[in-house]
Structure 1
């Protein structure tokens, strides 16, 4: 239950943060992300020392997996989202992200030495269908569809690439090292593309948004998420991704006052049913 609540909290934070991210629409993308991930790394270092959490050092092939998490799950993912909205409505990309449970339900157990679970596969389908109803469908062109596929692969990769190292490094180790690696990657792109002066273009609301994203959406959510992946298994944990669109819809009610229609409520019910089905499934060993 602790892992379920932690994973749900992580996805709830991510879903509810969509309104906060709007403050960064006109901000220099790579600079803002570099600052966000650098800040998150600092928060994790300080928190680990205060809480006396031991953070193992990566070794050997650990670095390859961590670089993959940072590059695929954070850098390429964010670039895909930004480029994708120029060719597709945001709901198209959101639905693509929501499709990750199906991929992880198949690949995750294989990486963990087991086999895909029928109940979890079925639950993943229900959660994805429910998420699609909550998010809605939008229009796109061919480029947008391809970028949506890229975003889907990156979202799945964020979880799957951590599976081989999470057992040794733990949630804190994967989170901290992936975060500072992402900060370095974004900085390496930001300096030549946007220039050092780009930081001066950040407004007060942008800085506030970056701070929230660094602390809540990155530092806290990453540790909660990878703790859930380690405790529940990647296939069951990723079902909790269905909480994100539900949280976004409920945040819209609180912030904007928009009451969801019947289809959205039906989607929320499907997400809940999928979670109830999938989280009760037991491992199937290879």
Structure 2
């Protein structure tokens, strides 16, 4: 089994991501692009402060790296958050959360290819098990065709968030990838918000919306991003992707507090299936294991926790 210290950051990060779906519901009536721009601007400031406190050197992107980092920002932050907020207008949060859980199937195959390796059948099979368990956890929920479409968009963006970072993660580490993509996303969202919502849109945000933005900026962005990319760099994208199965599990557990209802039997069965898939997929290979992407100094990212 991959040591707990190597997978714990990613597991915590995915639990935070699972909680974000319900929190994003508070932004349905907010000026969306402006709210998200404020979120990422705050996260940028916080991450810069933390980077300076721990003395991590963040490298300047060069050449084609700008395209990879821009792709992560556009898909994993801009489009993904539009899909989440607009999706919960048409579907229960559980329906959108299960899209995140479907990412292991995509990443488990595409990730190793981007890392120059052949996908391992055991990891790919475990990804399918984790995804199946996640579907049991959240159920199908209530939705319409638009909700299903936004869930599909969220799935693609969640996979891109990891896959597009692989080519630059080794050089920039979890810190650099997180910081660069966050400030790039801030500029993208601010520009779109200025055009679509106007320069005074920020004044329309109420207390509940500002609280949701603060939670998303600090917990889901600043902390979760570095935790996630640290795990990807340590154990590789294929095995790290299995942790996506924890997002809907976290959503189900948080649902107890928000709805006052205990999970049904299918939910508990789904949790058991997810745990089984994680155990199988995260086991340390006995031979011929490829070294995960990223240098040892990615361990510095643990300072965020």
**What CA distance in whole angstroms lies between the structure 2 residues aligned with 1:153 and 1:107?**
12
Q: In the alignment, is residue 25 of structure 1 matched against residue 38 of structure 2?
A: no
**Which stretches in structure 1 are left out of the alignment for 5+ residues?**
none
| Alpha-carbon distance change, 85 to 153 in structure 1, aligned in 2, over 3 angstroms | same
Q: In the alignment, is residue 149 of structure 1 matched against residue 143 of structure 2?
A: no
Aligned-pair RMSD on alpha carbons? 1.9
Aligned to 1:13: 16
**What CA distance in whole angstroms lies between the structure 2 residues aligned with 1:123 and 1:4?**
16
**Which stretches in structure 2 are left out of the alignment for 5+ residues?**
291-305
SS in 1 for 2:200: helix
TM-score by length of 1: 0.94
Aligned to 2:176: 173
1:87 CA drift (Å): 5.1
Q: In the alignment, is residue 268 of structure 1 matched against residue 261 of structure 2?
A: no
SS in 1 for 2:194: helix
| Alpha-carbon distance change, 145 to 257 in structure 1, aligned in 2, over 3 angstroms | closer
SS in 2 for 1:17: helix
Matches within 5 A, 1:105-144: 105-138=108-141, 142-144=145-147
Pick which of 132-141 and 61-70 moved more: 132-141
Q: Is the 8 A contact 2:106 2:159 kept in 1?
A: yes
1:17 CA drift (Å): 3.3
Aligned to 1:241: 244
Q: In the alignment, is residue 94 of structure 1 matched against residue 111 of structure 2?
A: no
1:85 CA drift (Å): 4.2
Q: In the alignment, is residue 44 of structure 1 matched against residue 21 of structure 2?
A: no
Aligned to 2:215: 212
Runs of 4+ in 1 over 6 A off after TM superposition: none
Matches within 5 A, 1:191-210: 191-210=194-213
Aligned to 1:280: 283
Aligned to 2:253: 250
**2:192 aligned to 171, 189, 192, which one?**
189
Q: Is the 8 A contact 2:10 2:243 kept in 1?
A: yes
**What CA distance in whole angstroms lies between the structure 1 residues aligned with 2:83 and 2:215?**
22
**What CA distance in whole angstroms lies between the structure 2 residues aligned with 1:192 and 1:165?**
31
1:196 CA drift (Å): 1.3
**What CA distance in whole angstroms lies between the structure 2 residues aligned with 1:106 and 1:236?**
11
**What CA distance in whole angstroms lies between the structure 1 residues aligned with 2:60 and 2:225?**
18
Q: Is the 8 A contact 2:18 2:97 kept in 1?
A: no
Deviations 1:55-80 (A, max 9, x none): 12111111110000000111111223
Aligned to 2:300: none
**What CA distance in whole angstroms lies between the structure 2 residues aligned with 1:76 and 1:233?**
25
TM-score by length of 2: 0.88
**What CA distance in whole angstroms lies between the structure 1 residues aligned with 2:103 and 2:197?**
32
**1:160 aligned to 151, 163, 166, which one?**
163
Q: Is the 8 A contact 1:117 1:284 kept in 2?
A: no
| Alpha-carbon distance change, 196 to 69 in structure 1, aligned in 2, over 3 angstroms | same
1:145 CA drift (Å): 3.9
